[in-house]
Structure 1
Amino acid sequence: MTAKNILRQLKMLRIYSDMEWDEYINYFEHTDELAHYIVLNSCPAAQPNHSDNLALLDRIMNKKTAFSVSVDYNLSRKIVSSDYISDLKTREKITVGIVSGCYDLLHIGHIRCINFAKQFLKSYPASILYALTLSDKHIINKKGQDRPILNFNERLEMLSHVKAIDYISPLKDANCLNILDQIKPEFYFKDKLDATMQEVVSMEIDTVQANNGTIVYFPESLCRKLSTTKIIENIRSTHYDL
C-alpha cells in the first residue's frame, strides 16, 4: 500500500476526531503525492466494497502480519544508510538528533514526539532529525505474530512524508546500539518509561552518553495517550463486518 492509500484508510477507520485528523494530516509534507489530500484537509471517503480500501482493515481484523519485504531505498531520498549519515556528519559538522521506534500505523502520538524532537533541534542551526525503524522480523519478535500491520517499506514511506524527519534508516539489528555507536548523535530522544522498562533502551542510553551525547525525554503528555496496540484493539472491538 502507498502512503496515500494508507492515509485514506486511516481516515475511513475514524481513529481520530476531526480536530485530531486536521492536526495529524498537517504534519505531512505538502509537496508530494499527498498534497491534494492535505491541501483539501480531507481524504476522500473510502468505498467499503473496494478491496484497496479494505487491505488495512483486513490485516488488523484477521491478524495478518504484513508480508515481509526488502528495503526499497528508491521510495524516498530521505531513506539512507547509516554510513551516509556518518559521512554527512563528518563532512558538514552537523548536529544529529535521533528518534527510533517501530512506527507501525504511524499514529499522531508518534508524530507529535517526532515534531517535539524537530522543534528542540531548531536551537541548533546545522542540525538534522534522523529516524530509525525496526525491520518486520524484529517487530514480530518484539510485538508478536500479528505485527507489524505495515511492512518495512510501507512504514518507511509513511515516515518519509513527515515534514519533521530529514533522514531515515532501516535497522538491520534488533536495536539501535550499533548505529548509535557509529553515528554518536548529540541528542537521542526517548520515552522515559521505555528507559526504565526496557533493558535495551537503557543500554542505548548508556551508549549515547558514553559518546558525550545527551538524552532528551519526550514530555509525558505526548507519550501516554495513544499507542498502536490501543488503536488495533479499538478497531477490533468495533466489530467491522468484512
Structure 2
Amino acid sequence: MSSPTSEAKPNLVNLSDVIARLCGAEVLCIGDIMLDRYVWGAVERISPEAPIPVLRIERETAMLGGAGNVANNLAALGGGGTFIGVIGDDAPGREIADIMADLTTINAHLLTDTDRRSTIKTRFVGAHQQMMRADVESTQALPASLEVQILERLTHPSGTLGAIILSDYGKGVLSDTIVRGVIEYAHATATTVIIDPKGTDYSRYRGADIITPNKKELMDATGLPAHTDEQVIAACTHLMDTCGVGGVLATRSAEGMTLVLRGQEPHHLKAQAREVFDVSGAGDTVVATLALALASGADSLTAAYLANIAAGIVVAKSGTATVSAPELSRALHHQDLDLAEAKLTELERAAAQVRDWQTQGLSVGFTNGCFDLLHPGHISLLSQARKACDRLIVGLNSDSSVKTLKGPTRPVQSEAARAAVLGALSAIDLIVLFSAETPIELIQTLRPDVLVKGADYTVETVVGADIVQGYGGRVVLAELVDGHSTTRTIERMGK
C-alpha cells in the first residue's frame, strides 16, 4: 500500500451541511461508564509529614467519564440515540445516573450490578497541573443475566439508528459475548459499528467497520512500530488483515490521524490543536464525532476530518470536555482562512511542489489573472481549469502589475485580499504572486502540464502556449460566461 495522499480536505460547504445534519442523527453507544471527579485546589507548601505537596482543596466537580463521555459528546454535538451501560448499587452509580439524566437527547439504559463497584477516577489538580489520580473500579465479567439484558436492548424500533459505538475501557462490560452479539446485530441491520478498543487482542472485534486505537495501542496490538506515516499504515493494514476489521482510524497526538480503509488509499490528517491543555477524553470526542457524522450520511473521510477538528478543540480545554456543533463550525471557518493564507506561496516553493505532484503522477494546471472582484465568470474559468488537471496553480497579478494593466484606480482589492478570496476556493491548490506584465517567468519555472485561459484568446495568443506545447503540455481554452467582467461591474457601481 502506498504512502498517505496529501491531506484531502472536504469542501467547506459540504462540511457545514454535515455539521447541520448532526442534530437529529442517532447513535447507539455501549460501554464502560464511569465518574470523572476533579478535586481542584492550590499548592502553597510541602507537607511536614513527608516530602509531598499539600493541596488546599477549593472546589470539586464531577462529570461522566469513559463511555459516558462519549454519550456526553454525542449530546453536545446535537445528536441523539441510546446509551447502554452498567453501574454499581452505590452512591457513585446514582450520581452517574443523575448526570446521565441531564442528557435529554440520550435514552439511557443503566443496568445495576449489585456485585460491582461503580468506576470512579478522581484527579487532584493544583495550579492547573494534575498531581495525582486515584481510581476505584471493578473489572470482573458481567453475570450472564446482565449480558442477556444488554443484548435485548439492542432493538431500535424507530429504524433511524445510524451507527453503533462500542466504547471499551476494559472494565468488563464489553465481554466477548456482548461484542460478538452487537457486531452480528450491526451486520443484520446494515449499521456501521465503530469500536474504541482496549487490550491487545483486536481479533475479538472481528467484523467491526472501524476501530480507533491511539498510537501506543496500535503498537501494543500489532507489535509493530508506528512512528512514521508508513509504519502507521503498515500497522493499520496488519490489524485489518489479521483481525478482520474494515478500517482503522489511528489517532497519533501531535502527528494527527491516519485513516486506512480496506480497498482505499490511506489518508493522513494533520493535527489541528494549536494549544494542548488536557488530552483527557479526547478519544471519546473522536469516536463520538466520527460515529455521529457517519450516522448523518457523511463518508468516512469527511467524518474522520470532522473528528480530527473536534479533537483539536477538546484538547485545548480543561478536564473531560466536549465539543459543540457551533464550535466545530467556527473552527472550520477559522481553518478555512488559515488554509487560504497557506495557499499563497513563493515561486521557488511552488516549483518544488509541482515536481512532487508530477512525481506522484498528478497533472498540474496553471492559469492567471487579476481576479480583482471575483464574479461568476472567474468561478467558471477556475472550475473548468481544475477539471482539466489534478492540481491547479493560479498566477495572481500583484497590485503594481494590476495598476499597470488596468489603470491608476485599480485594483479595488489589495493583493492580500484577492489571494485570501482565491485561497478559499477548493478548486485552487496554490497561488503565486507576480509583478511582471505577463506570467511568462512563472510558466517557464513551474512547467505546468496544462495551461488554461479564457476562450477570448486563441492558442496562438496565449502567453506561454509555445513553451508548454514545446515540452508536450497542452493548452485549454475555457468557455466564457457572458455578461460578467470586473471592469463592467465597477462601471455599474459608479453609476
Deviations 1:132-161 (A, max 9, x none): 110111111101111100011010001011
Task: Determine the C-alpha separation between the residues in 2 that align with 1:131 and 1:140.
Answer: 19
**3-state SS of the aligned residue for 2:411?**
coil
Matching residue of 1:78 = 343
> Do 1:177 and 1:207's aligned partners in 2 also have CA atoms closer than 8 Å?
no
> Do 2:339 and 2:423's aligned partners in 1 also have CA atoms closer than 8 Å?
no
Matching residue of 1:8 = none
Matching residue of 2:436 = 173
- The answer for unaligned runs of 5 or more in structure 2 is 1-10, 21-337
Max radius of gyration: which structure? Answer: 2
Matching residue of 1:208 = 468
Matching residue of 2:286 = none
Task: Determine the C-alpha separation between the residues in 1 that align with 2:441 and 2:458.
Answer: 18
> Do 1:205 and 1:215's aligned partners in 2 also have CA atoms closer than 8 Å?
yes
> Do 1:96 and 1:185's aligned partners in 2 also have CA atoms closer than 8 Å?
yes
Task: Determine the C-alpha separation between the residues in 1 that align with 2:475 and 2:425.
Answer: 23
CA drift of 1:119 comes to 2.2
Deviations 1:173-224 (A, max 9, x none): 221101101111110110132348xx9x53422222223221000114x3x3
> Do 1:98 and 1:130's aligned partners in 2 also have CA atoms closer than 8 Å?
yes
TM norm structure 2: 0.31
Deviations 1:68-117 (A, max 9, x none): xxxxx996111112222221232342311011100001112101110111
The letter for the 2-side match of 1:157 is A
State how 1:211-222 maps to structure 2 within 5 Å: 211-220=471-480, 222=481
Task: Determine the C-alpha separation between the residues in 1 that align with 2:385 and 2:369.
Answer: 14
Matching residue of 1:234 = 492
Task: Determine the C-alpha separation between the residues in 2 that align with 1:180 and 1:29.
Answer: 30
Matching residue of 1:144 = 407
TM norm structure 1: 0.60
Task: Determine the C-alpha separation between the residues in 2 that align with 1:174 and 1:156.
Answer: 18
May I ask how many residue pairs the two structures share in their alignment? 163
Matching residue of 2:352 = 87
1:116 to 368, 381, 384: 384
CA drift of 1:164 comes to 0.8
Task: Determine the C-alpha separation between the residues in 2 that align with 1:217 and 1:211.
Answer: 19
Percent of aligned pairs sharing the same letter:
24
Task: Determine the C-alpha separation between the residues in 1 that align with 2:458 and 2:383.
Answer: 20
Structure 2 residue 444 is matched with structure 1 residue 184: no
2:369 to 94, 101, 105: 101
> Do 1:181 and 1:211's aligned partners in 2 also have CA atoms closer than 8 Å?
no
Give the superposed CA RMSD. 2.6
**3-state SS of the aligned residue for 2:345?**
coil
Task: Determine the C-alpha separation between the residues in 1 that align with 2:439 and 2:458.
Answer: 13
> Do 1:139 and 1:148's aligned partners in 2 also have CA atoms closer than 8 Å?
yes
Task: Determine the C-alpha separation between the residues in 2 that align with 1:74 and 1:163.
Answer: 10
> Do 1:187 and 1:213's aligned partners in 2 also have CA atoms closer than 8 Å?
yes
The letter for the 2-side match of 1:103 is F
CA drift of 1:172 comes to 3.3
Task: Determine the C-alpha separation between the residues in 2 that align with 1:155 and 1:108.
Answer: 15
Q: Which has the higher contact order (CA 8 A, sep 6+)?
A: 1
Task: Determine the C-alpha separation between the residues in 1 that align with 2:414 and 2:339.
Answer: 16
Between 1:75-84 and 1:95-104, the stretch displaced more is 75-84
- The answer for unaligned runs of 5 or more in structure 1 is 1-27, 40-72, 122-126, 238-242
Task: Determine the C-alpha separation between the residues in 1 that align with 2:463 and 2:428.
Answer: 24
CA gap 1:154/1:31 in 2 versus in 1, 3 angstroms: farther
Task: Determine the C-alpha separation between the residues in 2 that align with 1:141 and 1:116.
Answer: 28
> Do 1:99 and 1:130's aligned partners in 2 also have CA atoms closer than 8 Å?
yes
Matching residue of 2:483 = 225
Task: Determine the C-alpha separation between the residues in 2 that align with 1:31 and 1:155.
Answer: 23
CA gap 1:97/1:138 in 2 versus in 1, 3 angstroms: same
The letter for the 2-side match of 1:116 is Q
Task: Determine the C-alpha separation between the residues in 1 that align with 2:483 and 2:385.
Answer: 18
